[in-house]
Structures are given as C-alpha cells and as structure tokens.
Amino acid sequence: MTTLNRIQKFFPFQRILNLLLAVLLLLVFQTKAKSQTAGAQDEILVVADEMPSYPGGPKALMDMVYKNITYPEDAKDKGIEGKVIVRFVIDKEGKATQATISKGLCPSIDKIVLGVINRIPRFIPGKMAGKPVSVWYAMPITFKLEKE
C-alpha cells in the first residue's frame, strides 16, 4: 500500500477528528465568553449613568437613618462624638449589602450604624445604559451628644 493510499484511507477519520476538535474549541470559548459576560454584569460600579436613589430623596434617607440610630451608652459615657462613614453596595434590586465602616468612632457606634444600614429599606437601583446595576454608596453619619 502506498503512502497516498494510507493517507486517503485515514482521511475520513481526520475530518471527523478535526470536526470534533473545532466543536470542542467552540464550546470552550463560548463558555469562557459567557462567564466573562456574567462577571461584567456582577461588577460593582462606583459611578453609574443613574445613581441609586432613596425613595423620598436624600433628606428622607437621613431622616430614616437618624430615626433608627440609638446612641450607645458606653459612647455617651466616654463623650465620643464625630462622624462615621459607612460604605455599602446598592445591588440591582435596590437592597443595601456589603456594609462596611470606612471611618469609625468606636466599636459600639460602628455596630449600631451597620445594623441600621443592614435593615435600610430598598433604594431605587442605579442604572447603566438603562439596566439596573450594583453601585457603591457611601454615607456620613454624625454622632453629637446633646448638651445638658
């Protein structure tokens, strides 16, 4: 049998092998593209076309926060005053998640702030190109003792 005959005899299997390889590569790249797209959708933005907003506006948000904050007794006793900066994500559904203290005052005050943020009613989510997106949000909360 000549080399040409051997190649021709093997040729149909080579086509099948090449086709299988092409399908496998296509599946791998398609899966990778889908996972990258999903990752981009789960990205948390710092700025969006439309930033998240609280129903009733910023004043309603601050009123709600201060209405639900209680000054911890240990902080009162120590005379601790100042600003706490809390950072959290407003997700695609408008829920506040991933709350962290960027600048704290003391553990008891920080804990109170995180508790209020974790129970905050839903925001109107931010949007990018008309679609809801997750956006970072930061808020200062001032603690000041009343003078007696």
The tens digit of pLDDT for each residue in 44-74 reads 999 999 999 999 999 999 999 999 999 999 9
Segment among 32-36, 82-86, 111-115 with least mean pLDDT: 32-36
Average pLDDT over residues 8-33: 52
As a whole number of angstroms, the distance between CA 131 and CA 114 comes to 28
Do 142 and 83 meet the contact criterion of CB atoms below 8 Å apart? yes
More confident residue, 105 or 13: 105
Residue 113: pLDDT over 50:
yes
Instruction: Find where tokens 């600003």 sit.
Output: 83
Average pLDDT over residues 27-33: 47
- What does the pLDDT read at residue 146? 84
Average pLDDT over residues 115-144: 94
- What does the pLDDT read at residue 22? 53
As a whole number of angstroms, the distance between CA 108 and CA 87 comes to 17
- What does the pLDDT read at residue 24? 45
What are the CA-CA distances from residue 121 to residues 71, 83, 90 (Å)?
A: 21, 22, 11
- What does the pLDDT read at residue 38? 44
